[in-house]
Each structure stands twice: as C-alpha cells, then as structure tokens.
Amino acid sequence: MPKIKDITNLLERLAPLRYQESYDNAGLQTGDAQAEVTGVLLTLDCTEAVIDEALKKGCNLIVAHHPVIFKGLKQLTGRNYVERTIIKAIQHNIAIYASHTNLDNVLYGVNTKIADKLELQQQRILINKPQTLMQLVSFVPVENTDEVLQALHKAGAGNIGEYSNCSFQVTGTGSFLPSDKASPAIGQAGKAEEVQENRIEVLFPAYLQSTVMAALQKAHPYEEVAHYLYSLENQNQEVGIGMIGELAEEMTEEAFLAYLKQKMQLQGLRYTTIGDKKVKRVAVCGGAGSFLIKDAIRQGADAFVTGDVKYHEFFDAESQLMIADIGHYESEVFTKEIFYDTISKNFSNFAVLISEVNTNPVRYTF
C-alpha cells in the first residue's frame, strides 16, 4: 500500500515546495508521512467538517489548497477553528497536506485550471518567477560522458518544456597534474596527464541543485570534479504567477460576463465596465490577484479575472480592462480537480474523493 509520502512526493513533482512564497506554509501540516494511505479527500480548505467527512469515508489523508496552519500556533486548546481542526486531525491520525502558492506558481496549477475552464488559447504565464533556472558545466572523459549525462537527467537536469534529456557537449583536451597524495582515476600520481574530455552543459531548475550536484559527484569518475554552476536570468516558462490567453472569439462585455458565470459556475460577480470595448485577451489569477492588475494591463489583457479585489483597486482598471472579481473560493474551487487528476492517474489502490463540503464561508443574497 502506498504511503502518505508517496502521494506528497507526487504532488511536489507537480508543485515543488520551493516555489511557495516566503509568507506561505505549504507542505505536510499534520500526520505521519510513513503511514499507509487508506483514502484521500480533496478540498480547497481544511475545516472541521472536512475532517468529519474524511473520518466517515475512511480517508487518512486530506489534500487542501489553503494551509489550515498558516501563522504560528502557540497553543492547541481548541479556541478557534484552526486549533479544533488540527486537534481533531491528530486525534484521528489524519494527515493534512497543503499545496498552496507553490501550486499557484507552476504551469498546470491553479491558474492553468482557470484558463482551461475559460477555454483560453495560446496560454502563457503572466509573470515568470525570476532566477529559477541554473546551468551546470562539467568536463568528463569521453568514454564516461553517456553515463554522467544519464545520471544528471535522472536527477532532473535537462528538461526544457516538452523536451527531456537535453544537453550540449563539445570535445577538447583536459590536462592535469595529480599530486603525490592523489589517487587519479586516469594517469598516475605526480605525472602530468592529458585526456580527451567532453565539456557537457545542462539546464535544471534551481531547487534541484543539491540533487543534481550529488548525481554529478557520484557518476563522474574523477576524484575532483571540475565544474561551473551558473544562476541564469533566462525566463522559466513553467514557473510564475497568473496566466494570460485569448478567447476563441472576441465577446461583448455582456457576453463575456455571461460566459464567465457559466464556465466558472458563478451566482454573481463584481466588475468594472469597459463599455463598448470587446474582450479577447484574458488574464487570470486564482485567489487574491489584484497585485497583477497593472501587469495584465501592460500585457494587453481586455479582462482580468481574479478574487478579493478591494474597492480602491477597482480604480486601477482605468477603463483599460475589465476587472472581474468572481470570488476567492469560486476562482480556486476547481483546484480540487488538479489534485484528483494527478493522484488518480498515478494510484489506483485507494479511494480518491473530492470533498462534498462547501467550505466557502461567504454566502450571497440578491
């Protein structure tokens, strides 16, 4: 039977914890990572009602988008819903795992899900996260090159977009003089040596640095492995916040509002008008995305779909684009489908259930 860590490792391949924002607290919040999974319940928020549902359905792992422990806890006495939820989870051996801003910051995460629901075409990340890529250059004897490259690829180096096992190499002559105390793989101590070597180059995500370096050290035949590590300024097309894309056909303001309501299953929404201007290019950000309004305008979006927009932030639309505040919960509720697809595609020996609890604390009346 798979263990809880097998599920969390899988979710972290999709959304590495290193991509969470500095204020966040994603990851395993309660529970034993080594425990066997009896069932997984998927939710946007982990509340007491969700713990009850997990108990009723025999699930000992809850995967949530929002971390129930977000700020520090100084006591656990059950005086608020956070403490009561944690106490109940621990009492019943229920593990709680949160994939939060790390899932906002990856391709195929929260924002791609919204863009897919709106059937946006030519999707790309709105703002790429800087400095997430590195380059490794090393020098390997010609006959060992394949073995070293294979080890680097296995460690996650050389995956670029839809391409894997990418590398560059060029052959040259390496020279070295081992000291009397050295035990060289090629040549002898105290004798100058020349070897045909390949200079190999691979790109990798910065969070894999220690894994990739360990793989290089292990696979490389030399005692001292010559290498250069570079932090790159190149944009990583797979890491960043928000998405932008185009509707198949441009729409009037009225038609777009109806389209949004239908596709995102909304009861209502708050928006700024663009009058007679048509909507074709649409930017989206799940949750509270108003910090991206100016970027959406700069990239020519006709509409920006998000949640939690404050009164004064609506003025930032400047009639250049429609700000559509569809609600925090409503913008992210389909995140559960990402968890469902990811886990059920890889495991079939336990139940993966989408929670039936509506955790939205906000209700509407008209």
Question: Rule CB under 5 A: which residues touch Zn ion?
Answer: 287, 332
Min dist CB 65 to Zn ion, Å, is 6
Min dist CB 44 to Zn ion, Å, is 8
Min dist CB 140 to Zn ion, Å, is 46
Min dist CB 82 to Zn ion, Å, is 16
Min dist CB 328 to Zn ion, Å, is 6
Residue (272 or 306) nearer to Zn ion, CB:
306
Q: Are strands 193-205 and 168-176 parallel, antiparallel or unpaired?
A: antiparallel
Residue (125 or 155) nearer to Zn ion, CB:
125
Min dist CB 50 to Zn ion, Å, is 16
Cβ atoms of residues 282 and 321 within 8 Å? no
Residue (245 or 287) nearer to Zn ion, CB:
287
Residue (31 or 287) nearer to Zn ion, CB:
287
* 3-state SS assignment for residue 104: helix
Cβ atoms of residues 212 and 152 within 8 Å? yes
Using the structure block, give the residue that is written with the tokens 């972290």.
Answer: 12
Cα–Cα distance for residue pair 173/267, rounded to 1 Å:
69
Cα–Cα distance for residue pair 26/106, rounded to 1 Å:
14
- CA 117, 121, 122, 126 torsion-angle sign: negative
The DSSP bridge partners found for residue 282 are 245, 303
Residue (66 or 220) nearer to Zn ion, CB:
66
Give the C-alpha distances (Å, rounded to integers) separating 272 from 126, 243, 304, 321.
21, 20, 10, 8
Residue (8 or 335) nearer to Zn ion, CB:
335
Say how many C-beta atoms besides its own lie within 10 A of residue 113's C-beta: 23
CB-based closest residue to Zn ion: 287
